[in-house]
Structure 1
Amino acid sequence: MKRLRLFAAAAALAGASGVALLLGAHPAASVPAAATQPLAGSVKGGRPVGLFFMTRYWIATHSLEKSTYYFAPNGQVYVDPAGFSAAQLAAVPAASRGSYTVAGRKLSVRWANGQTESADVEPQSETFAWNMGIFLAGRPFASASQLVGAFEGGNSISTSSGSAAAVSSLTFRANGTYSGGSASSFGGRNEAGASTYSAGSSGGSAGRWSLSGWTLTLTDAAGRTSSGVAYPIEKNEKTGQVTRFYFNNVAYKRL
């Protein structure tokens, strides 16, 4: 299941054009204003509860898989939900939602499509390892001001038949405006390893931004909106400044 999700992401990279597509944007109209907020991540008695940022490196594709996992208190788990209302959680594809249990050192997930995954869980206070992935407890932004500044992020994948990469940038200003840029490229190779094709695209966007709970919304100059789950994943412990954050399948680093 994870490999299928990874290659689907690569296909999206290869076909994306414009910053909204590269960000994996969801129409803001689909996000209710009063959407239920998730719990912050925690590990209690070896059992994860709440939101976690997951990373898993795939040697075969030289790529780092990144996802949001939400372990709901009722024993359900969701991967990369667009939001946390009942409707949004129910809309998560069957291969990415299911039920989870922890018995001894085993964390097991039965996905809604009938597939199962089970592996030892290695818990710590705010992180745990499971099924080759590292899970970091997620926390919401303390305030929108933590996003002010310039950030850059991207994703890439490489296989014997080709590669794809995407880079995007976002600059958030204290006056509520933002600007962003994006670039993507992909190419193929034949069995001998020679290049057979290559292509690329770029785009930009500017407008206004807002942060509400765990949801970041961008509205461009034409009034088009995109929104998604966003949260900090690293901060400067001395200054409290957010240095990395996650938004719509991209991990951004402060420039």
Structure 2
Amino acid sequence: MRPTKIETQKGHEIVSRHIRQQLERGELVPGQKLPSLEKLAEAYGVGRSTIREAISALKAMGWLDVRHGGGTYVAKSLPGEATGSLFDLSQGAEAVMEILEVRKILERGTAELAALKRGEDDLARLREILARMERALREDDAEGGERADLAFHQAIAAASGNPVLNQLMDSISQRLSETIGRTRELWFYQEQAEASRLLEEHRGIYEAIETRDSERASERIGLHLSKVEKVLRTALEQKSDGNAGQAQVHS
């Protein structure tokens, strides 16, 4: 007999599953506010970080809405029963992937030029945005972190000194804004990565630009975007496998 590895669920997975069961049974209704992190942590007998991970997963799936300074609410529009991925990948995941492909091509070049042409004002702007990222992390402000993330990448384009590249980034800023939040949630959830790691990646990009290391700046931003692309591809594959499994069941 071949032994089978049995994996135990992590605390946040158990909490997430329990809250989702309440949502599916209608015990928690759209628009309803959830108890605070402290009260949930006390009720489940776990740390606040475990509750944060569970809420982050449910938010990524579309079950919850987290409002900075306003608490956590049940989403007004709940995902369908067939939604088993982090977000409904049938609704725009391919478009997110297309934007990522464009970003990898465009932003590697902007980072390389920014390292060669940046001025002190550009560095000051990037440092200010990094400070906002750090503050958002400290205050658990997901929306603030997303806005700072977008601003960081736009500031790199501005630092490139090339008006055309800057205009290209501006032209897709709305698409960037829409996709950055979704990919951040996906990355945090699938990789179980701390937000602080994402902050360190941005700091690494800044340091390469500051030291005028154009090759390293291009490489670091490319690696950063490749990580996001990797977890999105994994989610798409999981969605595809799930659909195939459902098709076999119904055949």
Q: Do the two structures share a fold, i.e. TM-score over 0.5?
A: no
More strand as a share of residues: 1
Q: TM-score, normalised by structure 1?
A: 0.25
More helix as a share of residues: 2
Q: TM-score, normalised by structure 2?
A: 0.25
